[in-house]
Amino acid sequence: MDKMIVGLMSGTSLDGIDAALVKISGHGFNTRVTLQHFISVPFSNKLKEELLDVMDVERSNVAKICSMNVKLGALFAETVMELCEEAAYPIEKIDAIGSHGQTIYHIPKTINHYIPSTLQIGEPAIIAYETNTTVISNFRAMDIAAGGEGAPLVPYTEYLLYKDIHKGRALQNIGGIGNVTVIPKNSELNDVFAFDTGPGNMIIDELCKQLKGVAFDKNGHWASQGRVHKNLAAEWMEMAYFKRQPPKSTGRELFGREFTRKILQENRISANDFIATATYFTAASIADAYKRFVFPAVHIDEIIVAGGGSYNTTLMNMLKSLLPGKTVLTQEDIGLSSEAKEAIAFAILANETLHQHPGNVMQATGARESVILGQITLPPNGDPKIMIK
């Protein structure tokens, strides 16, 4: 029986909330998915600054986190209502909402006295109450419990949607962070592996904000005007993260505002040169990850790029030049949406949770076993539409 599920995604780039209304039939390897409608609601500059404060170890505190958890929950609920209104689909007919939440801190490996952990906020009870709909959230926690890094989680959904008996594919997402899912041709789920390649748009966006007073480098315009300082990019590529074997994940803790402040303090080059060099750094980190960990293991016929970075023409041209002889496409090139991809993924993962079916890929997260992801929050008076197996 078909289900109508809303997927919500708010990523490390802090652009806003992506919401996808998805028709899903079946589950597991029999899943069939049709995108019905998609919207993206940008964060205000004020909210973005509040989120950055919440994520900053120097400026954050428990009161800020506590308040922002509920504030985001209300905003997620508003986004669902806006999505349904635009789609002319009655919200009471929605079967479930899959909410990724907003990651505010991610510790994939033990660091000093901090144990592996991850925290996503956006209170599901608020979403469930305001929409009167069952919410599945906190997808990463069970993978962490099983010894994984809790990321990346989209590889399971990418395998369902993109596996091909004739082609080896690399699914590259360039959001705030870059990550790749590798799907060998004619593969089983156990053949799939994935990991975070490093920075995506995060450093570029922060440079644009500090140097240009704009949120991002539209179409890679500023990068195209600057000169790439390859010596600087090579220095940044010496970071230990890039040499670490997968599975691995990273985030704003390594490539966020503090990294950008440091490189601005240590170097005296023009604004355009900074943006061009950071753009090259993202492309180089992706290409290096492929050469180190992907190409030696799997023959890749197509690299399919999604996320906001796929719209950065300069970044895409740099990536293609660093991967000569490889076919580099975008989601749009194969008739799909780069923007909607991750929101769709969390609708699919919510559906897997409701069927009590595992949704992680052990080779991607490093978990000891396949586990059911997500926690279920029922609306205040229950939900007769949800029959948990």
Other Cβ atoms less than 10 A from the Cβ of 381: the count is 7
17 annotated among ligand-binding-site residues? yes
Contacts of residue 242, Cβ cutoff 8 Å, sequence gap at least 6 = 198, 285, 288, 289, 292
- Tokens 């074997």, residue? 245
Q: For the chain, what percent of residues have pLDDT higher than 90?
A: 93
**pLDDT attached to residue 386:** 77
The domain segmentation of the chain, as residue ranges, is 3-151+368-377, 154-334
**pLDDT attached to residue 111:** 84
> What's the Cα-to-Cα distance from 345 to each of 64, 100, 230, rounded to whole Å?
29, 10, 36
Per-residue pLDDT tens over the stretch 314-360: 999 999 999 999 999 999 999 888 889 999 999 999 999 999 999 99
Per-residue pLDDT tens over the stretch 82-108: 999 999 999 999 999 999 999 999 998
CATH architecture of 3-151+368-377: 2-Layer Sandwich (3.30)
**pLDDT attached to residue 230:** 97
The more confident residue out of 232 and 387 is 232
**pLDDT attached to residue 1:** 81
**pLDDT attached to residue 65:** 98
181 annotated among ligand-binding-site residues? no
323 annotated among ligand-binding-site residues? no
**pLDDT attached to residue 232:** 98
Peptide bond into 152 cis (omega under 30): yes
**What is the pTM assigned to this prediction?**
0.91
12 annotated among ligand-binding-site residues? yes
**pLDDT attached to residue 387:** 63
Question: Do 28 and 157 contact (CB within 8 A), yes or no?
Answer: no
95 annotated among ligand-binding-site residues? no
Mean pLDDT of 129-144: 98
288 annotated among ligand-binding-site residues? no
224 annotated among ligand-binding-site residues? no
Q: Confidence class of residue 270 from pLDDT cuts 50, 70 and 90?
A: very high
Mean pLDDT of 119-132: 98
Tokens of 108: 């994939």
Whole-angstrom Cα distance, residue 110 to residue 115? 5
Question: Do 152 and 345 contact (CB within 8 A), yes or no?
Answer: no
CATH of 154-334, one of 3.40.50.10540, 3.30.420.40, 3.40.50.2000, 3.30.379.10: 3.30.420.40
13 annotated among ligand-binding-site residues? yes
Same fold flag, 3-151+368-377 and 154-334: yes
**pLDDT attached to residue 388:** 56
